[in-house]
Homo-oligomer: A and B are copies of this chain.
Amino acid sequence: MAQKAVFYHAGCPVCIDAEQRFAHSLDPRAFDVEIVHLGEDKSRILEAQQSGVRSVPAFVVGGEPYHINFGAALSDLQ
């Protein structure tokens, strides 16, 4: 069964690049990907923080954060 993966981003160039490269290219048999734009949905920032996300773009899989390069600090989105 596919595991849930949340991709958090903020529309920044680094974010969009990572989204195009990875968020749309994970094996659908392995991951069920949800894409969350934290600039547009600030109500999800707390959830990202609680999963250990410090910057975007980042995936959270199995409760663990995976930061991909550095686009923007989460603290700058609040």
Chain A residues close to B by CB (< 8 Å): 17-18, 21-22, 24-28, 30-31, 61-62, 64-69
Contacts and interface: CB of A to CB of B under 8 A. Distances in A.
Contacts of A67: 67-69
A25 B31 contact: yes
A35 to B, nearest CB: 16
Nearest to A31: B25
Contacts of A31: 25
B68 A21 contact: no
Contacts of A68: 66-68
A55 B38 CA distance: 27
A78 to B, nearest CB: 22
